[in-house]
Amino acid sequence: MTAKRCKQLEYTAAGLLAAALIAPASQAAGLMTPAGGSLPELQLRDHHVAVVIEDGYAITTVDQVFFNPHDQALEAVYSFPVPEEAAVGEFTYWIDGKPVVGEVLEKARAREVYEQEKAQGRETALTEQDEYRSFDSRVYPVRANDEVHIQLVYIQPTHVDLGIGRYVYPLEEGGVDEQKMAFWTYNDTVEENFSFDLRMRSSYPVDTFRLPQHPQALVTRTDANHWQVAMDNGGTPGIAAAGANGALADDDITAGASAVPQTAGTASHTPYRLDQDIVVYWRHQQGLPGSVDMVTHRAPDSKRGSFMLTVTPGDDLGPVTGGRDWVFVLDYSGSMQGKYQSLIEGVSQGLHKLNPQDRFRIVLFNNGTRALTRNYVPVTAANIERYIRELESISPSGGTNLYAGLETGYRGLDADRPSAIILVTDGVANVGTTEKKAFLELLQKHDVRLFSFVMGNSANRPLLEGMAEVSHGFAMNISNADDIAGRLLQTAEKLTHEAYRDISIDIDGVKVADLTPAHIGSLYRGQQLVVFGHYWGEGEASAKISGKVSGREVEYRTPLSFPAQDTLNPELERLWAFASIEALDRRIDYLGEDSDSRQAIVDLALEYGLVTDYTSMVVVRDEVFAEHGIDRDNAARVATEQAARAAREAAPVRDHRQDGGAPAFNAPRATPGGGGSGGGAVGPWGLLLLLPLLFKRRTRRAQ
């Protein structure tokens, strides 16, 4: 894309974000029973979530109890989504009252072991990936009038955008897998005890927290570095009992005190439905400097260490101005029922915020496409009113021919005007061309950025994010529990300002390798850059971060310190491995599956204990692992990680900043509304007025 076009992209997606966020959930995480069958339902008795955010990543522990109120033994099947970038690496099943950690095997073998043990009536459990970020956990047997206890742990990097962090505990299913929905019925109700407990340990000062859809949550600041967010369904044991390492002890399910005050004289609870995502925002103190942080791990006597490098640029990206063309490509397939009217209102708001010199087109797609505007039309009140009326006359239906929608959107681009495509979809490509390679080749033919808004937890994120990467745009994941104003604010800042292009990182002084992502691409205003890698040797090194902004070369330098030993963050090994697996998955999606890439994924997953498309995690009795010749490598890794979490909890919060003595950036970090106005009917200064609404919250400072 030319420098001129790079400089002239501006905000327009406000209404689309609003539309994405108002929609009701269509499916949820929960226990599954074959629809129309004779098997009775199990009960989801307890569901406890403990989250720890520290050192640039989050550890989520989900502790559950399933109960069988019937007179026959049953199999429990629990379906759940996980967030993007989350690595599932720990699955525990309590057998005879003792926790047994699962081991990762190739998918077919794991299923074979599970079915063999199930056929013999012995305790077994299995977690496998279904598709994209959806997983299923199976547990057998849940004996008559008895319960089973399982625990799942996943880890993920955390990101701060324009000084605002975001964590999502996903529960809503997207409702786009019609075959799965037809086969299974879902029980998403926690009958007895539900709790959510998030603890943050941060070396950078945090001003406040916000949960847009859960105002009942209690936010507590214990000191400058420690925060807690807690909520339950009343009378729940476990919030206070869940330690800061995110794990629940064997007896914490039935003992402990809630951190949320209860009404005197009551011990009742209300059943809690797992049908709405829990979205948590936190806002860093304004005026923090741009920075370079690095977390490391190196086991004793190991020649190789792991690192996570996080670059938070200063606010060096200027605003852009000028007229441009906007193409709205909107999904109106059947899964958009219940969301479509909100989308119309969102498009109306978005069109009213365009500049008078802009032009727009609207393309709809389901089984086929419909070019609502045919050609570009000027932004006038009459045109906006006309095409909103036409949108209102259409009802969602049919499948999702995403390729046809994009292909139509790319037709008729004006080479003399800067252009951008705004895509909103909640589903998967299930009609017409569906191969990812074809989508990427389509985008490579056009010098136009694609900005995608991915609605829900079941969308084909690998495809949509891959397209954004190829076009040098971005894909933003949207939850129905998100803050409309907040996501609008973050998006507007990216479309109104310049961006970093062709970013590269060079490290001298210590040997480093296996960097992921290997190709960084673009970075937009307010975004952080996170890179994983390995290092050999020890001592001081230097890093050069270079790229282009509107065609001009930019360069930043920072010192780095690589320790000979650091044992407090062993999770970095899994985070590096999973980031590498995702890179291999993208290669397979683009070039097609080959034996080398597939085997590389399997090898990484087996070595680091990760559930993938090709590997699953199985639990059997301790002695049965030996019978099947299964080494207890993952159990050993989990023990190491749990010991490190306990050590971190007992230690002061660590400062991982590398450039404190020689700052890489002169300007402070970007914040909403900073850096000038990029034009448009509502500029960043107007959006800044939304901030007081963004962060109204219930916060109790600990005495």
Task: Round to whole Å and give the CA distance between 278 and 25.
Answer: 13
- Preceding peptide of 170 cis, ω within 30°: no
Distance between CA 287 and CA 512 in Å, rounded? 32
Q: How many CA atoms lie within 13 A of 62 on its CB side?
A: 23
3-state secondary structure 621-684: CHHHHHHCCCCCHHHHHHHHHHHHHHHHHHCCCCCCECCCCCCCCCCEECCCCCCCCCCCCCCH
Packing angle of the helix pair 381-392, 340-352 (nearest 10 deg): 170
3-state secondary structure of 145: coil
Q: In a 3-state reduction of DSSP, which class is residue 48?
A: strand
pLDDT at 36: 43
The DSSP result for 516-572, as a single string, is: ESS--EEE-TT--EEEEEEEES-EEEEEEEEEEETTEEEEEEEEEEE-S-B-S-THH
Enclosing H/E stretch for 152: strand 146-157
Strands 325-331 and 27-28: unpaired
Q: 75-88 as b/e, with b when 16 or more CB fall inside 10 Å? A: ebbbbbbbbbbbbb
Distances (CA, A) of 183 to 34, 130, 266, 626: 6, 14, 40, 36
Cα distance between residue 55 and residue 244, in whole Å: 14
What CA–CA distance (Å, rounded) separates 180 from 28? Answer: 12
Residue 298: DSSP 8-state: B
Collapse the DSSP code of 514 into the 3-class scheme (helix H, G, I; strand E, B; otherwise coil) and give the result.
strand
Half-sphere exposure of 491 (CA within 13 A, CB side): 25
**Mutual orientation of helices 340-352 and 14-22 as an angle, nearest 10°?**
160
**pLDDT beneath 50: ranges in the chain:** 1-27, 34-36, 174-177, 181-183, 235-267, 676-703
CA-nearest of 192, 197, 271 to 239 is 197
C-alpha–C-alpha distance, residues 92 and 100, integer Å: 5
DSSP state of 354: S
What number of CA atoms fall less than 13 Å from residue 217's CA on the CB side? Answer: 25
Distance of CA 127 to the CA centre of its chain: 20
Q: What is the pLDDT of residue 13?
A: 37
Cβ within 8 Å of residue 552, ≥6 positions away: none
Q: How far apart are CA 700 and CA 32, in angstroms?
A: 39
316 alpha carbon, distance to own chain's centre? 27
Question: Residue 568 contacts by C-beta under 8 Å, 6 or more apart in sequence?
Answer: 297, 644, 647, 648, 651, 654
Distances (CA, A) of 118 to 79, 126, 145, 345: 19, 11, 19, 52
What's the CA gap between 346 and 17, in Å, rounded?
7
Residue 139 belongs to what H/E stretch?
Answer: strand 134-142
Q: Roughly how many angstroms between the first and final C-alpha of the chain, as a whole number?
A: 55
For 389, other C-beta atoms within 10 Å of its C-beta total 10
Pick the closest to residue 175 from 340, 303, 25 (CA basis): 25
Q: Is 345 helix (H, G, I), strand (E, B) or coil?
A: helix
Q: Residue 572: what are its φ and ψ, rounded to 5°?
A: -60, -30
- Round to whole Å and give the CA distance between 303 and 538: 10
pLDDT, position 252: 28
Q: What is Dmax (Cα atoms) for the chain? A: 75
Query: Whole-angstrom Cα distance, residue 336 to residue 348?
Result: 17
Beta carbons of 167 and 50 less than 8 angstroms apart: no
SS3 612: coil
Residue 447, SS3? Answer: coil
> Looking at the chain, which residues constitute the CATH 3.40.50.410 domain(s)?
3-22+324-495
* pLDDT value at residue 630: 97
CB 195 within 8 A of CB 236: yes
pLDDT tens digits, 516-528: 999 888 899 999 9
Q: Are strands 325-331 and 359-365 parallel, antiparallel or unpaired?
A: parallel
- Domain 3-22+324-495, CATH class in plain words: alpha beta
Residue 119, SS3?
Answer: helix
**For 451-462, what is each residue's pLDDT tens digit?**
887 776 666 777
Quote the Cα angle for 166-171-172, to 5°: 105
3-class DSSP string for 594-605: CHHHHHHHHHHH
CA 636 to chain centre: 28
Cis peptide before 517 (omega within 30 of 0): yes
* Alpha-carbon gap, residue 507 to 575, rounded angstroms: 20
Q: What value, to the nearest 5°, has the Cα angle with vertex 613 and ends 610 and 619?
A: 50
- Asked whether the beta carbons of 598 and 614 are under 8 A apart, the reply is yes
Contact 344, 394 (CB under 8 A): no
Other C-beta atoms closer than 10 Å to the C-beta of 649 total 15
Residue 199 class from Cβ within 10 Å (0-12 exposed, 13-18 middle, 19+ buried)? buried
Cα–Cα dist 313/674, whole Å: 14
- Find all residues with CB under 8 Å of 309, minimum gap 6, and list them: 292, 293, 294, 505, 529, 530, 531, 532, 533, 543, 560
- Strand duo 218-223 + 699-701: pairing: parallel
Residues 532, 534, 538, 544, CA torsion sign:
negative
Pairing of β 539-549 and β 552-562: antiparallel
